[in-house]
Each structure stands twice: as structure tokens, then as C-alpha cells.
Amino acid sequence: MEHALNINKYHVVKIDSAQNFYLIYLKRGGNYFKVVSEKIEKANNCEKIKKQDYLSLSINLITGNSKIPFKVDGIIYKETAFVFERDSILNIYEADQLTGLCYNKK
């Protein structure tokens, strides 16, 4: 029943980090998404996300911005290189509701 209640939410399948960013791997409807979130100190009223959480997010594509320099296998965003997962993830996203690993419900 839990899965049915979360069908429109993103499922957190993995959390990793690269330099000054967290890499949050999400799944929804059979599709995978890589969301980057800058590492910051814990914010007020923080609900820290963890693997297996289901989140209502509005994700924004950052690789579609022509001002973002592309590498052959990824992008450079805010002076940090992010690679695509060639088998499943070909875009990089950010989410307004995430600050570091804090989930801000809106």
C-alpha cells in the first residue's frame, strides 16, 4: 500500500557526494534522475532526507542551460564536474525544496 500512496513522488535510491555537492539519485515511474544540492550547514526546520524516502519535489533541469559548459560525459556546474550515468541518467537536475540534505516542504 505504501508504494501506491507514493506513486507521484520521487524515491530516493542513493545519496552520494562530490566536492561541495550532494548527489541525490531519484527514481519515479521507471526513470532515474540525478539531483545536485550544495553542501551547507543544517538549516532551521530541517527534515534530513535519507535513502528510501519518498519526496514531493519540483526538479529543474540544469543541463539545458546554454551557459552551462558541457563535457563529453557530463557538465561543469558551479566549478564542479558532474558525470552522466550513460545507461540511465543523461541530465542533471536541482530541486527547489532541497538545501543540502534538508527537505523543505512547500
- pLDDT, one tens digit per residue, over 21-61 is 999 999 998 899 999 999 987 667 788 999 999 999 999 88
Question: On the CB side of 37, how many CA atoms lie within 13 Å of its CA?
Answer: 26
Tens digits of residue pLDDT in 18-30? 888 999 999 998 8
**Distance in angstroms (rounded) separating the CA atoms of residues 22 and 98:** 10
Question: On the CB side of 3, how many CA atoms lie within 13 Å of its CA?
Answer: 3
Total-model pTM: 0.78
Nearest partner of 36 among 10, 13, 16, 7, judged by Cα = 16
Neighbours of 36 (CB within 10 A): 22
Confidence of residue 91 (pLDDT cuts 50, 70, 90): confident
Nearest partner of 9 among 49, 56, 50, 42, judged by Cα = 56
In the block, residue with C-alpha cell 516542504: 105
State which residues form the domain around 69: 2-103
Total domains in the fold of the chain: 1
